[in-house]
Amino acid sequence: MSLPTSSSTALPGSPFVAYQNGQLMIEQVALRDLAGQHGTPLFVYSQAAILAALAAYQRGLAGRKSLICYAMKANSSLAILKLLADAGCGFDIVSGGELERALAVGADPARIIFSGVGKTRQEMRQALQTGVGCFNVESLPELDVLDAVARECGKVAPISIRVNPNVDAKTHPYISTGLKGNKFGIAHEDALAAYQRAAALPGLKVVGIDCHIGSQITEEAPYLEAMERILDLVTSIEKTGIPIHHIDFGGGLGINYNGDTPPAADALWARLLARLDARGFGDRTVMIEPGRSLVGNAGICITEVQYLKPGEQKNFCIVDAAMNDLPRPALYEAFHQIVPLQPRDAAATTYDVVGPVCESGDWLGRDRPLGVQPGDLLAVLSAGAYSMSMSSNYNTRPRAAEVMVNGAEARVIRARERVQDLWQLESA
């Protein structure tokens, strides 16, 4: 991509990240200044970008009985959770640890839904005592265990069943969740019997139905297909005398990593709700679980060029961020734009941008044209989701610091780990 050296030009993904007079800015803050103050690698988030993404969903659902539950696995940093809770979000959790994080920022337990295929008995007890709003149950054995745990606790667990509609989300196979070969949910053709079983268990109360078909979805058609199948199922379930109070359509809406063109959240939901009305279900509470689409384009990872290593087949730009900081490329061969914080007036060379971790899979970008020198700073864009939340200490590397920007103000929301922090729970 051609990079401007003057005026103001937004980059793909977020209007809150732009070059201004040759400097890459996030809102009103120069990223170079943040790197100088806090070191690299460094994650930086735009508060305005997060709230703007949420506002699109809120517009799409305006006037409806609805609950937006942020899928916090995308990024569970406390400051982001607090920002979204204050803006009216509930939370979609997948572990007892995520439950504790949500409660730590003052989340209302009744606005939390507990998903995931492997809930332990202890996690179930924890969630029941806390009073979460709903368990999304993903298998018949889980129904039986949750019923037993609820009765032991003297509680009745509110549940929905996650239905696997066998819809192709047309995304990477590792983040597809709605096909028969995926581990998630109960098969569409088995769901009616599962609901009848759940309704007969004294420790459970059926309150809804859930469906989630995958992540980084950039087309409207899979959502519409999944909705039709779920509404057909709701009709069948209610004919047996089991009322469905809420319909949870999951999340999965994609973001712009590399010229991707997912539908805007407000436009998508206008069309989905029109179909809901046409089918006679407009009075139901609608629940959704967006994650990546709220935070993905709001985040940047800043990294410093360490060495330029020419080779016969490949040229390598070796930086100080690595697969432990930003694992998506290594896991999914995912694409992130990589751009300089201050573009040079120099000819570009094609590099693989790689980190210092001792793995051939440690790469952030392949075949990128960059005019850089050691000491230059690069921004890995669209790094707000599934980066810090999936980071690790592989190679005994401390995790990066995180900064939240609000207009012209920036504050540290996670301090950089120290090496000695990494063995505090160990003994020699």
* Dihedral angle sign, alpha carbons of residues 57, 62, 66, 67: positive
Torsion on CA atoms 303, 304, 310, 313, rounded to nearest 10 = 0
Which residue(s) pair with 279 in the sheet? none
Q: Are strands 14-20 and 23-26 parallel, antiparallel or unpaired?
A: antiparallel
CA–CA separation, 265 vs 409, rounded Å?
28
Sheet holding 29-30, edge to edge: 8-11, 14-20, 23-26, 29-30
Q: Which of 69, 134, 153, 358 is catalytic?
A: 358
Structure tokens at 49: 């970008």
Q: CB within 8 A of 220, min separation 6: which ones?
A: 263, 268, 271
CA 178 to chain centre: 17
134 belongs to the catalytic site:
no
Structure tokens at 285: 């509470």
Q: Where are the beta strands (DSSP E) in 51-173?
A: 66-71, 90-93, 112-114, 134-137, 157-164
Contact 250, 210 (CB under 8 A): yes
Q: Residue 287 has what DSSP assignment? A: E
Helical (H) or strand (E) element with 317: strand 316-319
What are the residue numbers of the active site?
Answer: 358
